[in-house]
Homo-oligomer: A and B are copies of this chain.
Amino acid sequence: MTVNIIFVGNLKESFFEEAVREYEKRLGAYCKINNIYIKEQRMSEKPSEAEIAATLKKEGDQILAALPSRSYKIALCVEGKQLTSEGFADVFESAANNGYNEISFIIGSSCGLSHEVKAACDKRLSVSMMTFPHRLMRVILLEQIYRAQNILGGGKYHK
């Protein structure tokens, strides 16, 4: 299985970068992680609704252009469905059972994702009602993917 992680904006903090590298290393035994970086658009200090919408549209166009079309596509957004770690593991199993050998996760910028991106996805997933920085979200997502592979493989990581 190839797992594409599409994210807007890069990691600023070295500790988040190191955490991402560590989980990618651990995941090496299970799947191929393919990072797709989308440049975050600059906004003014106090952006208007219209400016935010225009920014999301621009970022969204880049995401849609980069999104591997034959993958099972999951948008991370607060209004998505929450799953337990076991339920999240089932997503991988069911994607594989449905003939997918590629899953794409999309993490938006601090303003979220455009409607077009969400509409192009097969699933909307919410991790929490809380708002996390997108850098931390990448760490959380990778840890959950690692946990999912362990759950499916009967490993001891998830108790």
Contact = CB atoms under 8 A, between A and B. Distances in A.
A88 interface: yes
Given A15-B22, A19-B15, A19-B19, A144 B130 contact: yes
Contacts of A144: 130
A111 interface: yes
Contacts of A111: 159
Contacts of A84: 129-131
Contacts of A156: 45
A53 interface: no
Interface residues of A, number: 32
Contact of A16 (B19, B88, B130, B133): B19
Contacts of A22: 13, 15
A85 B130 contact: yes
A18 interface: yes
Contact of A18 (B15, B130, B147, B159): B15
Contacts of A18: 14-15, 18
A41 interface: no
A128 B127 contact: yes
A35 interface: no
A83 interface: yes
Interface string A80-116: 0011110110000000000000000000001100000
The 5 closest A-B pairs by CB, nearest first: A15-B18, A15-B15, A128-B128, A15-B19, A85-B131
